[in-house]
Structure 1
Amino acid sequence: MLDTQSVRAAAGVPSNTTGRDAAKKVSGRKRGLAVDALGLVIAVVVLAASAHDNTAGIALLDRVAAATPPGSVRTALVDQGFKGSVASHGATHGIDVKTVERNPADTGFVPQPKRWVVEQTYGTLALHRRLVRDHEHHPSSSESRASWAMTDVMARRLTGTSSPSWRPTDRRRSRQAPAGPDRPARDGPDLRDRTVTSPDRRPDRQARRTRRGHRSPADQPRNPSPAR
């Protein structure tokens, strides 16, 4: 399965290696993956987001043909974003490129048969915070990051452990129901018992203002009323 994903680039990424995906309205880079039926990455390519899907598809087919034994890959499934040039280029490597068309009657997100595996791989790689946004100066470094993340996924599948999420869990903990006879208390601080202090009443800020010669509004002398 072949697919592409446009991700935003960090501020320090050189502009000559990035672009803007007009269809998805994303400025950054385009990451292309070629995965097998199990969702394991065979090849990865990183281009500017302005590059067409055909460019990424042709580069992926070349890398798949170079990384696999001859004749081991016979069929590649793509979406409707890849045009006829990808299919003709795949024929030169002995790969039959088939387009999985979306049912016009479907509305919203509908997983496509067999091709949803590559979408699942993108979601699994997004658990690695380094891949949420492209921080690398060189596209080759960005490709290696995706390979490292896939190595972690394969190791966790072999050991039976799940990938840790980089998303914070404090918000989820604050929404939990209070402990009771049927619900024991969990370890860690309870965010609901945290008191919020006004920024003007913080002791450290008030001390800094006093050292700088500033006086609080309560210490300011009141303006005398005008004489009549």
Structure 2
Amino acid sequence: MKGRKRFILVDTMGFLLGVRVVAASISEKAGAMLLIEKIWSQSLLKQLCGKMELVWVDSGYQGDDLYDWVATLTGWIWQVVKRSDDQKGFRILPRRWVVERSFAWLSFNRRLAKDYERLIRNSESNLYIAMLPMMLRRCK
């Protein structure tokens, strides 16, 4: 998608907990901070996510400043899942595929193929709406 980035927080089953859509010029660290601030400012999500202890992220979200910021705000342990230096080619890494699978599920929705929305709030709402049928099917 041109001009925007989507940051999502999912549980271990791939269900959407939080969404933040930002300009493409925002770095991964800044986007993660914006997403966590948004989640922490909403009381219902704060109650739901307050029970979490460990968050797996990919290597774009590493850095002591981000670890410390997340730990002081939420109390979460921020664990970066990296591939080994001697690894060649593509290999599925533990826990990182969960978010990628969630993005793949969301890509089945035609409305999310391109960003038709002018308002970021509408883009975020469409992500939640697209995830609802998948969550309902899997929770039976």
Q: TM tier, shorter chain?
A: 0.7 to 0.9
In 2, the alpha carbon distance for the partners of 1:74 and 1:107 equals 32
Residue number in structure 2 paired with 1:82: 61
Residue number in structure 2 paired with 1:153: 134
Based on CA coordinates, which of the two structures has the bigger radius of gyration? 1
SS at match of 2:126: helix
State the shift of 1:44 in Å.
Answer: 0.2
Runs of 4 or more above 6 Å deviation: none
Residue number in structure 1 paired with 2:85: 104
Aligned pair 1:57/2:32, yes or no? yes
State the shift of 1:46 in Å.
Answer: 0.2
Residue number in structure 1 paired with 2:14: 39
**Identity over the aligned pairs, expressed in percent?**
34
TM-score scaled by length of structure 2: 0.87
SS at match of 1:68: helix
SS at match of 1:101: coil
In 2, the alpha carbon distance for the partners of 1:116 and 1:106 equals 17
Aligned pair 1:130/2:105, yes or no? no
SS at match of 1:73: coil
Match of 2:46 among 48, 64, 68: 68
SS at match of 1:63: helix
Matched letter for residue 115 of structure 1? R
Matched letter for residue 88 of structure 1? D
State the shift of 1:115 in Å.
Answer: 1.9
Structure 2: runs of 5+ lacking an equivalent? none
Number of aligned pairs? 134
Looking at both structures, which has the greater relative contact order when contacts are Cα pairs under 8 Å and sequence separation is at least 6? 2
Q: 1:104 to 1:62 in 2, by over 3 A?
A: same
When you count helix as a share of all residues, which structure comes out higher?
Answer: 2
Matched letter for residue 108 of structure 1? G
TM-score scaled by length of structure 1: 0.55
